[in-house]
Amino acid sequence: MQPSATFRPIGGIGLLFSLRIPLAAAVLAGSLTAAGGEAGEAPQPADKGWRASSGPKPHPVPQPRPEALEAAIRRGTEFLLARQNKDGSWGSAVTYRPMDIYAPVPGAHHAFRAAVTSLCTSALLETKAKDPRVERAIDRAEAWLLEHLPKVRRATGDTIYNVWGHAYALQALVRMHERKPEDGPRRAAIKRHLAEQIGMLDRYICLDGGWAYYDFEAQTQHPSDSSNCFVTATVLVGLHEAKGIGVSIPRKLIDRGMASIRRQRKPDFSYCYLEAFKYAPMALINRPGGSLGRSQACNVATRLWGDRAVTDAVLTDWLDRLFARNLWLDIGRRRPIPHESHFQVAAYFFYYGHYYGALCIEQLPAQERPVYQDHLAHVLLPLQDKDGSWWDFPMYDYHQQYGTAFALMTLLRCRRGAEGKQSAGEVP
């Protein structure tokens, strides 16, 4: 039995959240309301199927002041500069609360630090700030990543947090590759690191074809527990970026990952939390309110890899839901226990979901983006703390760093008429 001072989700037939309510209870809850949708929505006839216009629509919001957007980006950048560790990384295993998530030492924290450092590096690279302090911070972060990424491994048989590190390392390495295009040997070395990270993802793909971060079943080399659609989506987005700079991606990884996500996809493009939950599709966690963050990641990942089912109408319908039903995510924000909120939403889906929502916006025609960019900025700008950070789930000393990185990369994509990777200007 695990100590009571850790939150340790379970796999197999149990719901993947800390309260350990059996799946049978979720199935019963789903069966009692299977004919209905979310609170406040009329049930759809079973024979009508999914329609792009059937979901909720958000109320209009004004365009945020450009100077407010830029000020928030500068303050977030300043926070990351101030919180970078001396060795160039971000985050630590220090915790300030009596209970924290299950994280066997030291491997789990090697994985967390690799993932968080990758996210922070990507965020700073995307700002393109013309500031020598930012350049120095990126140099230090790159040196740390190139030294430590090859050492990231599975912590224990049941804990595979390293998958997050490998996935976000792909995105950081791609941006590092583009930073100094004139340096051929450096770019070649980065591509070798990318190939190594892809090899690690190949090693830890689940038997069912996707990726996960726990294996509470047989704890085999290829994890035997159910894969999570959103972890798989995170990996697929990183793999697509690596492919974009000429890195070879084994086709089997894409095919198996895509098939895994499709098996967890419901007709309305909400997604089950993990593969085993497809047998309880109307459990609260699998409904649209519980899928708000997951659907953004899964939609953009499958769209990038050529899934024609994910049309513009699907993207806009789920972006509409993200903003019209944003309270389902926000009411869980900063709650300390995973999945304790309504629809069993975990706090750490908040900035994650909005970041992948921003990637969905980039898939739309240019003329359709501004309304969603404004909604994103409208949600995130008021949530910035006085120290310049954003965070959603208290997790050791990683939460402010990863939350700020996600928020920065999201707000950079809220600039009108520009992609998210343009310059943020000099940081004062």
Reported as a pLDDT band with limits 50, 70 and 90, residue 281 is: very high
Measured distance CA(266)–CA(258) in Å, rounded: 14
Q: Provide the H-helix boundaries in 149-183.
A: 162-179
Measure the CA–CA gap between 230 and 349, rounded to whole angstroms: 10
Separation CA 171–CA 254 (nearest Å): 16
Residue 418's pLDDT is 56
Q: So what's the pLDDT on residue 99?
A: 87
Q: Using an 8 Å Cβ cutoff, are 377 and 64 in contact?
A: yes
pLDDT, tens digit, 9 for 90 and up, residues 101-143? 999 999 999 999 999 999 999 999 999 999 999 999 999 999 9
Which runs of consecutive H residues, i.e. helices, occur in 4-94? 23-32, 66-83
Task: Provide the token pair at 240.
Answer: 């697509």
pLDDT, tens digit (0-9, with 9 covering 90-100), for 83-98 = 999 999 999 999 988 8
- Amino acid at position 335, single letter: R
Using pLDDT thresholds of 50, 70 and 90, give the confidence band for residue 359.
Answer: very high
HSE-up of residue 244 (Cα within 13 Å, Cβ side): 15
CA torsion sign for 323, 329, 330, 331 is positive
pTM of the model: 0.89
Rounded Cα distance, 237 and 6, in Å: 31
- Cα separation, 376 vs 160, in Å, equals 31
DSSP 192: H
For the chain, which domains are there? 56-412 (1.50.10.20)
16-20, 319-323, 329-333, 393-397: least confidently modelled range: 16-20
Instruction: Take residue 296 and report the two structure tokens written for it.
Output: 């953004």
The answer on pLDDT for 147 being more than 90 is yes
Per-residue pLDDT band for 53 (boundaries 50, 70, 90) equals: low
Q: How many helices (H) and strands (E) does the chain have?
A: 14, 2
Cβ atoms of 323 and 58 within 8 Å: the answer is yes
